Amino acid sequence: MSVVLHAVSWRDVRLDEALTHAAPGSVALLSTPRTYHIALVSASGGVKTRKGSVRLEDVFEARFFDECAELRWVNIADGRGTAVFLTEDAAVLPAGSGERLPDVVATDTRTGAYLLWGRSAGSVNGWTTLSSERIGTIDIPAEIPAEQHAHVVTREYIAQDPDHGNAYVAEERLLRFDLATLENAAS
């Protein structure tokens, strides 16, 4: 089984310009000098946490993802940076802009997950508050039952070195937040 991961990148782009390539409803992970936001991409092109909008001008690193694609952006200088769009579906690649990067041809993929801090304090309107004495609370856009744990699900793309034959993880995409059970937390 072979899976191809396609990519397009942009240089010297503002976050709001890069954000035009993220699908509405995509999850947004946003780092600012003072806080970390988990939000959703709105249909109007902004990002909204459970509590309101995030000022894009404050963000220095961002990841936007859904099951289909991931968009990453990092500030290089003065609010301008580099962005990359990754997807298995070549039909959803942004057309006519950016630089097409070499495809990653994966010999296999693996589903993985990163366990999130805290337990669910319950869900309201599609958002769950995770709470931990050590870190406080954070809201994620997922329905996680009270007292349960959550994780972010990933897909690793395993490629083979053409010269030596060694297998390695060539890339990883974030897919979604989900309920973490004992069975899938151990894998």
At 159-178, the pLDDT tens digits run: 999 899 899 999 999 999 99
Confidence category of residue 187, pLDDT binned at 50, 70, 90: very low
5 pLDDT more than 80: yes
**pLDDT mean over 20-27:** 96
Same domain, 17 and 78: yes
Per the structure, the complete domain to which residue 40 belongs is given by: 3-101
Interval 78-123: pLDDT, tens: 999 999 999 999 999 998 789 999 999 999 999 999 999 999 999 9
Instruction: Please say which residue of 101, 134, 155 terminates a domain.
Output: 101
Q: Please report the DSSP string for the chain in residue order.
A: --EEEEEEEEEEEEHHHHHTTSPTT-EEEEE-SS-EEEEEE-TTS-EE-SS-B--GGG-SEEEEE-SSEEEEEEEEETTEEEEEEEES-GGGSPSSSSEEEEEEEESEEEEEEEEPSSEEEEEETTEEEEEETTTEEEEESS---TT-EEEEEEEEEEEE-TTT--EEEEEEEEEEEEEE-HHHH--
Same domain, 121 and 88: no
Confidence category of residue 182, pLDDT binned at 50, 70, 90: low
More confident site: 149 or 165: 149
Same domain, 75 and 154: no
Same domain, 121 and 33: no
75 pLDDT more than 50: yes
Instruction: Please say which residue of 75, 101, 127 terminates a domain.
Output: 101
Spatial distance between the Cα atoms of 166 and 168, rounded to a whole number of angstroms: 7
The pLDDT of residue 123: 94
Confidence category of residue 183, pLDDT binned at 50, 70, 90: low
Instruction: Please say which residue of 69, 101, 133 terminates a domain.
Output: 101
Same domain, 35 and 123: no
